[in-house]
Amino acid sequence: MAKVAFNEDARAVMLASQVARVEAVRAIKRLQHAHSHYVTAAQWDAAAALFSQRGELARGDDVVVGRQAIADYLRATIGDAAHGRLFAELVMTPVVTLSPDGETGRGRWHEMTIDAVAGLHAGWTGGIQENEYVREDGVWRIARLHYHPQYAGPYAEGWHGLTENPQLIPYHYDVAQTGTPVSTLAQDEVVAGTACDTAELAARLARLEDETAIQNLQNAWGYYVDRRQWDDIADLYAPDGLIALANDERVRGRSAIRSALEEMGPAGLSPGELNDHLLFAPVVAIHADGSTASARGLVLGTIGVHQQDAQWTLGIYDNDYVKRDGIWMIAASRYYPRAATDYYRGWAESQIAAHAGWTLATNMPEQRFPACDQPAIRFPHPVAGTHPAPATASARQNDLDEMAQSVTRAAAVDAVENIACAYGYYIDEFRWHEVGELFSTHGWKELSYIGIYKGRERVLGSLIARYGDKGRVSSFLAIHQKIQPVVTIAADGLSARIHLRLFQVGSLPSGPGPFIGGVYEDEAVLEDGIWKISGMDLDYIWFAGYAEGWGKADPQVSRQFAPKPGSMDHYPPDGPLRGPAFAPFPAHEPLPIHFCNPVSGRKPPPRIDQSA
């Protein structure tokens, strides 16, 4: 293998430093997602082992230090998840930054937790994590997990804000930090080593690209399930791919998989049907051969038929993938149902044996809540586990120009997710000037219910004209949680698209407000070395008060947040909305989706663009 000494090829060493920084951001995300899985599976020692030697866990007023103390605290406060216990920690909306020396990092996350004991109680908690991470003994670990509670409540009453005067939880970042690619380095920030193995470096870059491709593949699967796009789902499987069924039967091959999907019901949603499947905490493990992989994640379902029923479902996907002719495909999919419950009775009072959502399950149907067993966690422990060395990359990938483009694209994936999520945190607090700074000079944005505003100054002006310039002035919390990104970076690394799911919750100290399901379709551009939002399209799908849920959602209620007629005449939009003005459910509208099928290349269903 070619060895390039630091003094002989500074460019190669620069690339090595850049790759290490992108890997650090991915390692931080993997740590947090793994923590979610270990806590949800009641593996307290494994969760505590993610922390540094003197790591801290701070939850509200409780602060514990050290791995053993953290494990003991989790065991005492959450319990051992005995029979009849359902616990799930859902983390989302990451904004991750890295220190200049690459040895520490920070991350902001939304956390939403389900906690129930069958027949006794069920409740929600939620808030923001502002966390610190450190590289210790060459391995990334959690230095401080600091959870700031924002809302909580019993299931029957719904979540409510915890204070009459909610305080801003300080951001660890500014606008420029969120959009600056982590690969951006000054010469004096290069980590000088004795040698740089370019073949190994190319293989590490290939692994980063593979991880993104698998995440996009799996998240696209989720969006296809939402709309029962059976052809697209079947296309995602390898020609010999399989689905594991509840009766231990194996359906193998795209044609057989397509037929099995049809047995669940015809393609497409029926009138009034909701079938959303929200995917959380993906942990991707690329295997040593570089052509196979696995991934695990959590799935929260909001499903039902309007005016007939509404159900929550909770499950775990644990899938295998294979790379053929340069394209990642699903080799085997396994869905482990954890719970299904009637929305109007709640997690503690209702356990449904079968539900109308993703019914192709694994061979463990008896493990549904209130039973407690879960599938074994297969991914390597991010701290204690053994990770395979990167596979050898092709000769073409060893070219420094190729590697420079690859590291630019890899860093862009995380920067684009950063700015999309930072937008949500800023609008939660009505911080319009920071929102404006997130946009490119000529960027455009839909202002809900009104229209499109074009250009950074117009975007900022529209928000101030609509909401004023005093920040959040009420105790109402509107929390914009974002999950399930599908990120597409242009070949030159200068522009991008990102599709995200919105799961918005609202609350007051006196009780819950509405909650909303929708999707963002964003465009981004690298402007003066910083990623900026160049376009933002938001489509609401459903809108409901907590008491009504989506099963009894009144589409007219979504109009309550629309401005009064004429109230924006002094600052009219530059164009109409691109999609429907109000959440259409129980009707269905085609959604804005930029990505084609990751395997077959089939284009998404067309949507009538009202702004055209």
Give per-residue pLDDT as tens, 110-153.
999 999 988 889 999 999 999 999 999 999 999 999 999 999 99
* Residue 29 falls inside a structural domain: yes
Determine contact, residues 318/336, Cβ cutoff 8 Å: yes
CATH code for the domain in which residue 548 is found: 3.10.450.50
Q: Are residues 142 and 280 in the same domain?
A: no
Distance of CA 213 to the CA centre of its chain: 15
Question: Which residue reads 């620069």 in tokens?
Answer: 14
**Bridge partners, 130 (sequence order):** 108
| Angle of helix 10-40 versus helix 400-428 axis, rounded to 10 | 40
Other C-beta atoms closer than 10 Å to the C-beta of 610 total 14
Q: Where does the pLDDT of residue 598 fall: very low under 50, low under 70, confident under 90, or very high at 90 and above?
A: very high
- Starting at the edge strand that comes first in sequence, how are the strands of the sheet with 451-454 ordered? 451-454, 439-447, 530-545, 511-527, 495-508, 477-489
Q: Are residues 282 and 302 in the same domain?
A: yes
Check pLDDT > 60 for residue 193: no
Answer with the one of 170, 202, 234 that is the final residue of a domain: 202
Of the candidates 143, 130, 230, the residue with the CA atom closest to the CA atom of residue 172: 130
Check pLDDT > 70 for residue 464: yes
Per-residue pLDDT of 11-44, as tens digits, reads: 888 899 999 999 999 999 999 999 999 999 999 9
**What is residue 388's predicted lDDT score, i.e. its pLDDT?**
80
Distance of CA 444 to the CA centre of its chain: 24
Cα separation, 332 vs 518, in Å, equals: 29
Q: In one letter, which amino acid is 27?
A: A
Q: Are residues 30 and 91 in the same domain?
A: yes
* Residue 588 falls inside a structural domain: no
Q: Are residues 171 and 242 in the same domain?
A: no
Q: What Rg do the C-alpha atoms of the chain give, in angstroms?
A: 23
51-59 and 85-98 as β-strands: parallel, antiparallel, unpaired? unpaired
Check pLDDT > 50 for residue 247: yes
Q: Are residues 91 and 21 in the same domain?
A: yes
| 306-322 mean pLDDT | 95
Higher pLDDT, 210 or 249: 210
| 426-438 mean pLDDT | 98
Cα separation, 110 vs 131, in Å, equals: 11
* Residue 602 falls inside a structural domain: no
**What is residue 158's predicted lDDT score, i.e. its pLDDT?**
95
Check pLDDT > 80 for residue 383: yes
**Bridge partners, 489 (sequence order):** 496
Percentage above 70 pLDDT, the chain: 90
Q: In one letter, which amino acid is 424?
A: G
Answer with the one of 335, 369, 392 that is the final residue of a domain: 392
**What is residue 336's predicted lDDT score, i.e. its pLDDT?**
87
Cα separation, 551 vs 341, in Å, equals: 13
| 269-288 mean pLDDT | 96
* Residue 415 falls inside a structural domain: yes
Residue 331 token pair: 């080799």
Residue 488 sits at the vertex; the CA angle it makes with 482 and 489, to the nearest 5 degrees, is: 120
Q: Are residues 467 and 485 in the same domain?
A: yes
Q: Are residues 271 and 196 in the same domain?
A: no
Answer with the one of 392, 413, 444 that is the final residue of a domain: 392
Residue 500 token pair: 């995200």
Check pLDDT > 60 for residue 382: yes
Return the biggest CA–CA distance within the chain.
71
* Residue 60 falls inside a structural domain: yes
* Residue 598 falls inside a structural domain: no
Number of domains in the chain: 3
Q: Are residues 186 and 197 in the same domain?
A: yes
Cα separation, 94 vs 26, in Å, equals: 11
**What is residue 362's predicted lDDT score, i.e. its pLDDT?**
35
Determine contact, residues 394/400, Cβ cutoff 8 Å: no
Residue 155 sits at the vertex; the CA angle it makes with 154 and 161, to the nearest 5 degrees, is: 55
* Residue 438 falls inside a structural domain: yes
Overall size of the chain counted in residues? 612
Cα separation, 103 vs 69, in Å, equals: 25
**What is residue 368's predicted lDDT score, i.e. its pLDDT?**
55
Could you write out the DSSP letters of every residue in 128-144?
Answer: EEEEEEEEETTEEEEEE
Domain residues for the domain of 107 are 3-202
| 418-427 mean pLDDT | 98
* Residue 371 falls inside a structural domain: yes
Q: Are residues 156 and 231 in the same domain?
A: no
Reduce the DSSP state of residue 414 to 3 states and report it: helix
Residue 145 token pair: 């997990």
Query: Which residues make Cβ contacts (< 8 Å) with residue 119, sequence separation at least 6?
Result: 84, 348, 349, 370
Cα separation, 207 vs 471, in Å, equals: 42
Q: Are residues 235 and 160 in the same domain?
A: no
